[in-house]
Structure 1
Amino acid sequence: MNLNATLFVQFVVFFIFVGVTMKFVWPPVMKALDERAQRIANGLAAADRGKAEMAAAEKRIAAELASTREESAKRIADAEKRAAAIIEEAKQNAAVEAARIVEAAKAEAEQQVTRAREELRGQVAALAVAGAEQILKREVNAAAHADLLNRLSTEL
């Protein structure tokens, strides 16, 4: 065997092998690699979109939390104002009720004073009749002298 012929045959077999590999093996391998690269690129793009959506969602959440806090602060302030108004209204109602009770007590006291005066007038009239009886040493008829006794009680 000749060394040159062996090398030449090995070159020819190598180029045939390379040609067959380039024609039949290389395209499916390259297609698989391209598909994989495309899937990786799509995955990275989806990850970027996910990050962007996540950042947008976080911003929306922060805005919603801020509006919720603001709304709850308004509600608390409104509730405090309403509580103060209710307390003030209760104080006013209590003051009105106290004034009404005081007026009723004053009216009752006036009535008692009036009754006491009437009783005292009656007692004074009875004492005056008794005194006049003692002075005159005779019995004075109270029914006959009622007009006189009434004038006397009004003067007292």
Structure 2
Amino acid sequence: MTEIRPVRAADAPRLTGLLAQLGYPGELDAVTTRLAAVLGSATQQVLVATPAGGSRIDGYVGVERRPPLLEQDERVEVTGLVVDAAARRSGIGRALMRAAEQWAARHDLHTVVLRSNVARPESHPFYEGIGYRRKATSHLYRKEV
């Protein structure tokens, strides 16, 4: 049985490992600092999947309340979803996404959006299988200033 709960500061080491599996390796100190910012945020939440009563973390989903823009209403964006490689295809991803949708509903928001990198084609059928539809394909540009 999987339990979904809010992240805790003590979860930083395991989250660091999950981030590496997602392709974002980082130092524990950096993840700990970022996690502290998320824990102090009124607009962000990270939810983790653990075996009932266990300390292992099998996955996480990050959500953020996004303000309205001229072209879009207020919405919730999934900022990250990863399930440990050893726990994939067990329903944990679905449970985490359901928890993200419930978080949105508790905040009286009815639209959930996410981005899925083209480099992760195996994830696209998962999202489509739980009711998400592709709305756009775009490029991300970045410049350090």
Q: What's the TM-score once normalised by structure 2's chain length?
A: 0.15
Which of these two proteins has the greater Rg computed from alpha carbons?
1
TM-score (structure 1 length as normaliser): 0.15
Structure with the bigger percentage of strand: 2
Give the structure, 1 or 2, with the largest relative contact order (CA under 8 Å, sep 6 or more). Answer: 2
